[in-house]
Amino acid sequence: MNQSDSERIRSVIEGMGFEMTEIEEDASLIGVVACSVRQKAIDKVYSKIQKWNQWKNEKPLITFVSGCILPADEVKFIKLFDLVFRMNELLELPDMLHQSGVASEFSTRHPLNDIEREDERTDFWQVEPTYSSDFEAFVPIQNGCDKFCSYCAVPFTRGREVSRASADILAEVERLIENDVKAITLLGQNVNSYGLDKKGEELSFAALLRAVGEIGSKSGKELWVYFTSPHPRDMTRDVIEAIADYKCLAKQIHLPVQSGDEKLLRRMNRNYSIEDYLKIVDDIRELLPTATIFTDIIVGFSGETDEQLERSAELMEQVKFNMAYVAKYSPRAGARASRWEDDITPQQKSERLAKLSEVLKRTSLAHNEAMVGKTFRVLVERADKRMEGALASRTEGKLPVRVLDASNDLVGTFQDVEITSASALSLAGKLAGA
């Protein structure tokens, strides 16, 4: 989401006449799109602004921050940054920069002037993003969250759920496909509650997926469409059926479970049982037999016992996730759980994280080893940073594959790769027929 927001901020700034520099020290205008999900990411924002404010002693510099910001941090950021704005204030950014004085030499005329203002919560999505890649794109479909999981900052930083107009989403998807984009990710904090805020007026999430699937099939082009993050509560069977019906809807599901313990799930206010979650996994295995399943898990949540952690490990053994993003619980001001004791020590959190990582490595290794000797379609993403002459790619299920002895010309293309070796969280192979 932050990358997607940055792509729109960049368009607005460049529309004023600014030019992008890759060298941080050269910038006259610099900003950060913050994430408040965990304290660690916010600490990075504080260290960046300290550095930038020191640079101000040597040269003129305008600083800004946007993205996910908790009210308590916003108060501090207003003192540290020249500009603090919410993403839905993006259309006002040129005016704000002018008012700050430093950007007065830049044009006030701006492509934004042509945008018709309809809904201040969603108008910013009309800004045409400056995509960071010409073969992979993020398309926001909703913003905010109404679920109020007890640990989570999102409802307080991004506000209530709002869905983007499906006509605009489909138009963006169509343009991307025309431009030969190979992978598209539909984005939102709670993507599969898409349309629920505009019931009767908007498509459901399953219907939106089908509409995207139709555009993809009609184009006749090869394409993988993903979405993230869904909530198990809204992961209805019709969503999984839609994915099964369209080749271009990628067979990869990210389904955050957060914990394998019923009582903890209730304390987290997740509103599903382990049985509900496993039923969705069964539906996925039945309707999408080739799909990989990823998850998010929190360890060290307030009051989590060793037994409760053990249940998360057991659930992981049972589902055999291909990937699990395991996070140490980080109290967030405003979220209900921030009033409960953060009673699991940092060391315990690290041990618990290591324990779940071990389970993940074991199940993912068994899955990956069974791929050796078979050929898989991959999308080549870039030159491999750690190995000369190799490429980094991913399967439709988003498993990373190192393609050995292949030329950089293949970046941004689909290829068939024969898997020659497997490790816990990655694979390696050679171009089929090579």
Q: What phi and psi, each to the nearest 5 degrees, are found at residue 236?
A: -80, 160
Q: Scan for tokens 């898989």, then name that residue.
A: 376
Closest CA to 387 of 337, 421, 336, 413: 421
According to CB under 6 A, which one of 66, 126, 143, 189 is a site residue for ligand SF4?
189
| Residue 294 touches ligand SAH, criterion: CB under 6 A | no
Residue 256 makes contact with ligand SAH by CB under 6 A: yes
Location of structure tokens 């007026």: 201
Please identify which residue in 65, 91, 152, 291 interacts with ligand SF4, judged by CB under 6 A: 152
What residue ranges in 53-207 does DSSP mark as E strands?
A: 62-67, 83-84, 136-140, 142-143, 162-163, 183-187
Is 355 a binding residue for ligand SAH by CB under 6 A? The answer is no
Nearest C-alpha neighbor of 151 from the set 16, 344, 19, 287: 344
Q: Collapsing DSSP states into helix, strand and coil, what is residue 288?
A: coil
**Binding marks (x or -) toward ligand SF4, 101..140, rule CB under 6 A?**
----------------------------------------
From first CA to last CA, the distance across the chain in angstroms is 38
Q: Of these partners, ligand SAH, ligand SF4, none, which one is at the site of residue 155 (CB under 5 to 8 Å by kind)?
A: ligand SF4
132 closest CA partner among 181, 99, 77: 181
Is residue 151 involved in binding ligand SAH (CB under 6 A)?
yes
Residue number, 182 or 311, with CB nearest to ligand SAH: 311
Site residues for ligand SAH, window 36-55 (CB under 6 A)? 37-38
Q: What is the DSSP string of 155-184?
A: HHHT-S-EEPPHHHHHHHHHHHHHTT--EE
Residue 402 CA from chain centroid, whole number: 23
CA distance 377 to 361: 23
Does 296 bind ligand SAH (CB under 6 A)? Our answer is yes
Angle at 161 between CA 148 and CA 142, to 5 degrees: 125
Give the range of 48-56, 326-334, 347-355, 383-391 binding ligand SAH by CB under 6 A.
326-334
CA distance linking residue 304 with residue 297, whole number of Å = 13
Type of residue numbered 221: K
Q: Which of 391, 402, 410, 406 is nearest to 426 (CA)?
A: 402
From candidates 154, 162, 239, 419, binder to ligand SF4 by CB under 6 A:
154
CB nearer ligand SAH, residue 88 or residue 189: 189
The answer to whether 148 contacts ligand SF4 (rule: CB under 6 A) is yes
20: Cβ contacts below 8 Å, ≥ 6 apart: 10, 14
Alpha-carbon distance of 330 to 338, in angstroms, equals 9
Helix, strand, or coil (residue 295): strand
How many residues line the site for ligand SF4 (CB under 6 A)?
A: 10
Find which of ligand SF4, ligand SAH, none residue 38 binds, CB within 5 to 8 Å per kind: ligand SAH
Told to check if 155 binds ligand SF4 by CB under 6 A, we report yes
Q: Which helix (H) or strand (E) holds 429?
A: strand 427-431
Q: How far is the CB of 300 from ligand SF4 (least distance, A)?
A: 16
* Residue 293 engages ligand SF4 in binding (rule: CB under 6 A): no
Identify what 332 binds: ligand SAH, ligand SF4, none; CB under 5 to 8 Å per kind.
ligand SAH
Q: Let me know: does 422 contact 374? Beta carbons within 8 Å.
A: no
Part in contact with ligand SF4 (CB under 6 A); list of ranges 46-54, 146-154, 166-174, 342-350: 146-154
356 vs 392 by CB, closer to ligand SAH: 356
Interface of this chain with ligand SAH, residues 207 to 246, rule: CB under 6 A: 229, 231
With H, G, I as helix, E, B as strand and everything else as coil, classify residue 340.
Answer: coil
> CB 174 → ligand SF4: shortest distance, Å?
28
Nearer to ligand SF4 by C-beta: 193 or 292?
193
Nearer to ligand SAH, 125 or 151 (CB): 151
Given the complex with ligand SAH, which of 38 and 98 has the nearer CB atom? 38
CB of 12 to ligand SF4, least distance (A): 26
CB closer to ligand SF4 out of 94 and 155: 155
- Radius of gyration (C-alpha) of the chain in whole angstroms: 23
| Site residues (vs ligand SF4, CB under 6 A) | 145, 147-149, 152, 154-155, 189-190, 231
| Site residues (vs ligand SAH, CB under 6 A) | 37-38, 151-152, 189-190, 229, 231, 256, 258, 296, 298, 327, 329-330, 332
